[in-house]
Amino acid sequence: MKRSKMIFVLFGLYVLLSAGGLILFKLGSQDLNISVSKNLFELKISWLMLLGIVCYACSFLLWLVIVSKLNLSFAMPLSVGLVNTLVLIGSYFVLHETITITQWIGVAVIIFGLFLIA
């Protein structure tokens, strides 16, 4: 696989890991327990939260590779638009959140903007 194609495969993986990590954070946050007692900080997290942290850490490492190969002025808006869109879609299907028509219109505008910069 050519280097130019590989960077876009990595970019796609970055988007999936970032959006997946955020959705896993939301799912795992329901079981989050943070307490402080007698100068001791205690944090109990679920396996979903831990998996979200792993996804997000991996996406960060991929991001370092991506920005070393692509212009930041191209990579940043593209990644933010794709991650935001994927989080909204994931929130609808995985978290069963209600998405308003205004949010769907916003997604359409984002996708149109992505075509303009790509």
Kindly report, residue by residue over 5-45, the tens digit of the pLDDT.
999 999 999 999 999 999 999 999 887 777 777 667 677 78
Find where tokens 């959705």 sit. 23
Domain count, the chain: 1
Dist. CA 82–CA 71, nearest whole Å: 17
Dist. CA 81–CA 76, nearest whole Å: 8
Phi-psi region of 96 (alpha: psi -120 to 50; beta: other; left: phi over 0): left
CB distance 10 to 62 below 8 Å: yes
pLDDT at 1 over 60: no
Which stretch of DSSP H or E encloses residue 37?
A: strand 33-37
pLDDT tens per residue, range 40-97? 767 778 899 999 999 999 999 999 999 999 999 999 999 999 999 999 999 999 999 9
Which of 13, 113, 115, 110 lies closest to 63, judged by CA?
13
Structural domain boundaries enclosing 104:
3-117
- Cα three-residue angle 10-89-12, rounded to 5 degrees: 5
Average pLDDT over residues 102-111: 96
pLDDT value for 93: 97
Residue 1 to residues 6, 111, 118: CA-CA distances in angstroms?
Answer: 6, 27, 21
Q: Band of the pLDDT at 3, cuts 50, 70, 90?
A: low
End-to-end CA distance of the chain: 21
